[in-house]
Amino acid sequence: MLALPIVIPLLAAAVLLGVGRLVPRRAGDAIAATAAVGTAGFAYAVLRGTGDGRVVAWLGGWRPHGGRGVGIPLVGDQVSAGIVLLTALLVLAALVYGWRYHEDVEAHYPALMMLFLAGMAGFALSGDLFDMFVFFELMGAVAYALTGFKIEDPGAVQGGLNFGVINSLGAYLTLVGIGLLYARTGRLGLAPLGEALRGHGADPLVLAGFVCVVTGFLVKAALVPFHFWLADAHAVAPTPVCVLFSGIMVELGLYGVLRVYTTVFGGVLAAGDVRRTFLVLGVLTAAVGAVMCVAQRNLKRLLAYSTIAHMGLFVVAAFLLTADGLAGAVTYAAAHAGVKAALFLTVGMLLNRYGTVDEHDLYGRARGWGVPLLLLTGAAALSGLPPFGPGLGKALSEDAVTAAGYGWSPVLFVAVSALTGGAVLRAALRVGFGAGPHPSHARGAEETGGGEETEVPLRRIPATMAAATVALLAGGMVIGVVPWPVRAETFLDGSGYAAQVLHGARTGMAAHVTHWTATGVAYGLASSVLAVGVALAALYGPVLPAAVRRSAAALRPAFLVLRRAHSGHVGDYVAWMLLGVTILAASLVTTL
Amino acid sequence: MSYLAYAVAAWLFLAGGLGIARSRHLVQTVVALSVAQSGTYVLLLAVGFQRGASAPIFGAGTPLKASGVVDPVVQAMTLTDIVVSATVTALLAALAIQVAKLHGTADPDELRSLRG
């Protein structure tokens, strides 16, 4: 049962590759969509089955005896099963949207989507470190192929190549880490590794293993300074694929780090040091992402940097390593997935209709109410407006970070939400209503990579595209209204995980039911008001008082340095990555 | 086991990383990535190696030697790794060809389509 969410899409991919050329395109799409529905159904059944604990399945029936064994387990808890369900639903939405969006794709496109789904489901459910690596590579290789899918588009192939090189190098570092841990303990399963390390204690080799293993996942999670590939890949990948990238793949990187830390290293590396290191990474990521987000005029890039900024916030909340913080991050990430996916799909509609995603070229062109309304709603949700889902996740995260003794938390969360929400709002007002003076093109072509190849323009937005977008947006918003029990303590309980996987001792823990607080509502409203301010300042900048403009001009050199760092050069990205690994290792040396 | 194999593994990985960072041609970039990955093969095999041990092949006719066998798990991992590498290298090489065709250059320093 636990294996079915991995097996179904794999089988569907095999069938599609086998007979895809023989059957009409719609039949291939239908097979893929059916498989996605089936995967979602079984993922939901697993989710129900986890209850307040976990479900464990041993592949091939190789169960352990007396805590020792050679089998490979799949482990589902609320978080991992929920991830599989969310992934399947996002794939389904992407397929439904792509029904009319792609006019001439071959059968291998739905097959790649199925393999992508299988890779992500396997990564989430695996209870074995090497298996995690294999599924990680599967989803990686498929992701490179999907990024460079339009092989006649110069940007797409370059973005795909950059993404492939940097992610593969990160994944190989993960493998190095796995090798080091195996050398130390002779185990590969998460639970046996954790038990062996708890008895062994920390040493430089174990620390090196941790740093190497998480580096690959951090590249996928796009934390600064590992984040450079993300905006390039999002700018050039087909829009339905961006939905999966921003909605779940990037978040899976963070999931991998958390899963490995709680189950394997929880007993050896002190939580305090790990928390401090990742808080710094998270704050840095949120700041860089938010600043770069506001500065974009390519709408897909803008949304990509907003994803980076939100990843920073998720990291800050999740790496408190408290149940409150994790519950906040999980809620935030789930709601963000729906809203961000819907925003990407809306931008896809603009691209389809007008052949560009450049905010300045689109000035005042999106007539009618559909697209502007979707953008406005998405901007409001992204800025944390109550009672929508992202606002609830933000409020819960904010409260948890404050309660953990970091009083600056509301400043960070409100500022990032206001900047990213404000950037989307600015785009919505410009594109939909022609607000502000006409943006001049004279300021120089500061950024490039506008080019997803234009699809065959449709005369009006088909019902399938609209339905997928509205459903995702509604899903992301409803999370804020319906109280929802998050089993964060079960996820964080590494020894309970080991006890259940190795000895079959089922443990259950209390859930955190999501709820609004007065301060959460107040900060949510504050960030939404600030987002409106950011948007208006960007639109009507020239009429601002001279003093404000002068201080903005003073910051410009620093900003230009930041922008120039995002060079689109794969060699630079690798250099940044190696620097990041060194800093990560240095900052964790104190745990020894 | 001497430390030489581990030193070679680390050197290969870093040389590959440096090769990508300093690369002036995308084919070189892709090959440098493979070099970095070779480091992981050496590391994994070194982890399982024992001096004097035999290959991990068991059967009715082959009695177990007292000197033991080398670890088969890391060899299986290396094989998996090689399969992954073949896929990724082929895909990236195909993308590199396409980049050269569409941009008219394979020098990463001259690719200008993704900035900021």
Residues A18-37 have pLDDT tens digits of 887 788 888 888 999 999 99
Average pLDDT value over all residues in chain A:
88
Residue A158 falls inside a structural domain: no
- Which of A285, A292, A334 lies closest to A310, judged by CA? A285
**Residues of A in Cβ contact (< 8 Å) with B77:** 130, 175, 178-179, 182
From the list B13, B30, B99, which residue is nearest A158 (CB)?
B99
Paired tokens of A483: 């109280």
Binary contact (B113, A134; C-beta < 8 A): no
| DSSP helix, strand, coil percent of chain B (3-state; round to 5) | 65, 5, 30
Q: Calculate how close chain B gets to A377, using CA atoms only, in Å.
A: 27
From the list B44, B87, B113, which residue is nearest A179 (CB)?
B44
The three-state secondary structure class of A77 is: coil
Give phi and psi for A112, each to the nearest 5. -65, -40
Q: Are the C-beta atoms of A172 and B13 separated by less than 8 Å?
A: yes
Question: B106: nearest CA in chain A?
Answer: A158
Query: Over pLDDT 70: what percentage of chain A?
Result: 95
Q: Dmax of chain B from CA atoms? A: 65
Residue A203 falls inside a structural domain: no
Residue A121 falls inside a structural domain: no
Q: Is B47 on the interface with A (CB under 8 A)?
A: yes
Residue with tokens 């206001």: A418
Domain housing A389:
270-485+512-543
Binary contact (A165, B33; C-beta < 8 A): yes
- Which of A86, A315, A335, A73 lies closest to A217, judged by CA? A315
Question: Average pLDDT of A144-173?
Answer: 91
Question: Average pLDDT of A76-99?
Answer: 93
- Cα A443 to Cα A293, A312, A419, A458: the distances in Å are 18, 30, 22, 32
Question: Average pLDDT of A300-304?
Answer: 93
pLDDT at A455: 54
pLDDT at B114: 66
Answer whether residue B1 shows pLDDT above 60: no
Q: Is B106 on the interface with A (CB under 8 A)?
A: no
Residue A562 falls inside a structural domain: no
Specify the length of chain B in residues: 116
- Which of A416, A438, A137 lies closest to A285, judged by CA? A416
pLDDT at A589: 87
pLDDT at A448: 46
Question: B6: nearest CA in chain A?
Answer: A180
Binary contact (A179, B47; C-beta < 8 A): yes
pLDDT digit string (tens) for A466-476? 899 999 999 99
Q: Which residues pair with A65 in a beta bridge?
A: A68
> Which residues, other chains included, contact A130 with Cβ-Cβ below 8 Å and sequence gap of 6+?
A178, A188, B77, B80
Q: Which residues pair with B62 in a beta bridge?
A: B59
Answer whether residue B14 shows pLDDT above 70: yes
DSSP labels, A257-321: HHHHIIIIITTTS-HHHHHHHHHHHHHHHHHHHHHHHHT--BHHHHHHHHHHHHHHHHHHHHTT-
| H helical segments located in A295-408 | 299-318, 323-354, 370-382, 389-403
The C-alpha atoms of residue A180 and residue A266 are separated, in whole angstroms, by: 17
Q: Are the C-beta atoms of A300 and A292 separated by less than 8 Å?
A: no
**Residues of A in Cβ contact (< 8 Å) with B47:** 179, 182-183
pLDDT digit string (tens) for A346-355? 999 888 888 8
Binary contact (B20, A182; C-beta < 8 A): no
Question: B14: nearest CA in chain A?
Answer: A578
Q: Which residues pair with A128 in a beta bridge?
A: A189
Residue A74 falls inside a structural domain: no
pLDDT confidence bin for A591, thresholds 50/70/90: confident
pLDDT confidence bin for A540, thresholds 50/70/90: confident
Number of neighbours of residue A164 by Cβ within 10 angstroms: 29
> Which residues, other chains included, contact A154 with Cβ-Cβ below 8 Å and sequence gap of 6+?
A451, B99, B102, B103, B113
CATH code that applies to domain B4-52+72-110: 1.10.287.3510
Answer whether residue A499 shows pLDDT above 60: yes
Domain ranges of chain B: 4-52+72-110
To the nearest 10°, report the CA torsion of A90, A93, A97, A99.
110
pLDDT at A450: 46
Which of B49, B95, B101, B102 to mutate to test binding with chain A, by most A CBs within 10 Å of its CB? B95
Answer whether residue B71 shows pLDDT above 90: no
**Residues of A in Cβ contact (< 8 Å) with B116:** 292, 295-296, 301, 446-448, 563, 566
Burial of residue A372, with CB atoms counted within 10 A of its CB: 0-12 exposed, 13-18 middle, 19 or more buried: middle
Q: Among A49-53, A420-424, A459-463, B81-85, whose mean pLDDT is lowest? A: A459-463
pLDDT digit string (tens) for A94-152? 999 988 777 666 668 899 999 999 999 999 999 999 999 999 999 999 999 999 888 88
Q: Calculate how close chain B gets to A184, using CA atoms only, in Å.
A: 9
Q: Are the C-beta atoms of A268 and A201 separated by less than 8 Å?
A: yes
Q: What is the pTM of this model?
A: 0.93
Supply the DSSP symbol for A457.
P
Q: Is B74 on the interface with A (CB under 8 A)?
A: yes
Binary contact (B116, A447; C-beta < 8 A): yes
pLDDT at A248: 94
User: How many domains are there within chain A?
Assistant: 1
DSSP labels, A223-268: -TTS-HHHHHHHHHS-HHHHHHIIIIIHHHHHHHHHHHIIIIITTT
pLDDT at A446: 47
pLDDT at A451: 47
Question: Average pLDDT of A363-389?
Answer: 87
pLDDT at A256: 96
**Residues of A in Cβ contact (< 8 Å) with B73:** 182, 188
pLDDT digit string (tens) for A25-77? 888 889 999 999 999 999 999 999 888 889 999 988 888 887 788 889 999 99
pLDDT at A570: 86
pLDDT at A257: 96
**Residues of B in Cβ contact (< 8 Å) with A446:** 115-116
Q: Is B81 on the interface with A (CB under 8 A)?
A: yes
Q: Are the C-beta atoms of A376 and A432 separated by less than 8 Å?
A: yes
Q: Calculate how close chain A gets to B23, using CA atoms only, in Å.
A: 7
pLDDT confidence bin for A442, thresholds 50/70/90: very low
| H helical segments located in A186-203 | 190-200
What count of CB pairs under 8 Å joins A to B? Answer: 142
